[in-house]
Structure 1
Amino acid sequence: MPEMLDATVLAPDDAATDALERMLRSRWSCRAFTPEPVPRSEITRILDLARRSPSWCNTQPWHVHVTEGAGTERLREALRSAVAAGPDAAPDIAFPESYEGVYRERRRISGWQLYASLGIDKSDRVASGEQTLRNFDLFDAPHVAIVTTERALGAYGAVDSGIFVSNFVLAAHSRGIATIPQAALATQAPLIRRHFDLPPERQVLLGISFGYADSGHPANGYRTERQGLGELVTFVGN
């Protein structure tokens, strides 16, 4: 039977708004983790919150494979080996064709912030390339959540799964657990499909590496900016 709740009238809740604002303003993408594992009880609590995410017609197209301990190390080693062999990127969902205009500029600024935090010169292609490969080390995280969606649901299944990802990272942050959603892992979709024995109807969307942040690591010492409301919204009235 579906869960039944009493209908209630929504009212402003300043405490809830303030708590949400703190989560949104303080969350960041972690690029250096300690080896300390997250207790299973904390992981299941995060998942239990994220599963409440809305989706079109309540289809809930997301599924998550969460690694722990030796499971994380097996996947990390498989990714390292695959990338060392130099396979072409093969994401299930096509990556952007290009970044132009303001999107290119935001992407560049984000990359420069990361390189500056690590003392990497903008022109140092070797060092920046090595940092990119850290994606496939999962930034030393003790866990990764591989998020898949249903192929037949197309773009909207991916959109719904993106809502789940957002709620996962916010729920984790509320528990003091750092995360980084990684589209880079989707470049190795064929490997991930074999590794987890995924059926062909499941598409690899991304991975979320998570654990406890290495607070002293310079890669965790900067924050990206967000566009202002003037860029974000167009109000249409009378």
Structure 2
Amino acid sequence: MTYKTMTAAYPTDGAADDAAAGLERLLASRHSCRAFTPETVDRAVLQRVLAMAQRTATWCNAQPWTSYVLSGDTLERTREALTAHVTSGAEKAPDLVDPETYTAERLARRRQAGFALYGALGIGREDREARGRQHLENFRFFGAPHVVLVTLAAELREYGAVDIGAYIATLLLAAESCGLASIPQAAPALYAPALRETLVIPADKRIVATVALGYEDTAAAANAFRVPRAELGESVRFLD
């Protein structure tokens, strides 16, 4: 299987060229940050990022998300409660059904990302203890000073989850445009009851994912790798 980072310029003209080039730069520079500095982000910047994400296109303009921005003491309490819950051996209990399995190229891409991370950290494949410690960083939100917990109005089911995916994608690009690092996370949402209890999330809000936000620790080994993207031919079919 071959991969190729999508950095090639596509033909554009006129005023659209600058806009397309700007989006390409954001897409090329954005990556999942797995180590943040403790520096907090100004509230006005967070509000700007979230206001941009609010422009996401949605099915019937439902805008089905409610986002909870965790910072300060609330975030620290959530880190501690979630980590304790996971290390206690609690069973996963996501609000959305998690993937049953990964196969074919999807499995290959998942493995490639994992090998790249553990390789950057110098963790061998057989070092289960070190791999376990790194896995727990998911529930500490990689030290980020802010976390956006994204929920879905339960009545909207799978199509609402599609809208949430679009919202998170816009949120990531908005953060990048404002100089912030980010990482979308499914792992915390796999333990939805612990999050719901800690944060008093209503039962009619399905916990979908979290997005950690802040400033990247550029010296951290966990941020020293990038994963490529597949060539268009692997994922796109033109039917003329």
Instruction: Give yes or no for TM over 0.5.
Output: yes
The one of 110, 131, 142 equivalent to 2:134 is: 131
Deviations 1:178-198 (A, max 9, x none): 001010011110011112222
Alignment-derived partner of residue 184 in structure 2: 181
1:64 and 1:44 map into 2 onto residues whose CA distance is 12
Match status 1:30 vs 2:40? no
1:84 and 1:125 map into 2 onto residues whose CA distance is 15
2:186 and 2:147 map into 1 onto residues whose CA distance is 12
Secondary structure at the aligned position of 2:71 is classed as: coil
Runs of 5+ unmatched residues, structure 2: 1-13
1:30 and 1:50 map into 2 onto residues whose CA distance is 19
The one of 38, 41, 51 equivalent to 1:48 is: 51
The one of 34, 46, 63 equivalent to 1:60 is: 63
1:72 deviates by 1.1
1:12 deviates by 5.4
2:201 and 2:213 map into 1 onto residues whose CA distance is 22
2:112 and 2:133 map into 1 onto residues whose CA distance is 19
Match status 1:150 vs 2:153? yes
2:142 and 2:20 map into 1 onto residues whose CA distance is 32
Alignment-derived partner of residue 96 in structure 2: 93
The one of 161, 168, 171 equivalent to 1:168 is: 171
Match status 1:13 vs 2:16? yes
Match status 1:234 vs 2:237? yes
2:169 and 2:40 map into 1 onto residues whose CA distance is 22
Q: CA RMSD in A?
A: 1.0
2:124 and 2:55 map into 1 onto residues whose CA distance is 43
Alignment-derived partner of residue 194 in structure 2: 191
Count of residues in correspondence between the two structures: 227
Alignment-derived partner of residue 144 in structure 2: 141
Secondary structure at the aligned position of 2:41 is classed as: coil
Deviations 1:141-168 (A, max 9, x none): 1111000001111111011011110010
Alignment-derived partner of residue 11 in structure 2: none
Secondary structure at the aligned position of 1:67 is classed as: strand
2:86 and 2:195 map into 1 onto residues whose CA distance is 13
Alignment-derived partner of residue 209 in structure 1: 212
The one of 192, 204, 222 equivalent to 1:219 is: 222
1:123 deviates by 2.0
Runs of 5+ unmatched residues, structure 1: 1-10
Which amino acid in structure 2 is aligned with residue 210 of structure 1?
A: L
TM-score by length of 1: 0.93
Which amino acid in structure 2 is aligned with residue 99 of structure 1?
A: Y
2:50 and 2:188 map into 1 onto residues whose CA distance is 20
Alignment-derived partner of residue 4 in structure 1: none
Secondary structure at the aligned position of 1:90 is classed as: coil
Match status 1:110 vs 2:113? yes
Which amino acid in structure 2 is aligned with residue 29 of structure 1?
A: S
TM-score by length of 2: 0.92
1:69 and 1:196 map into 2 onto residues whose CA distance is 13
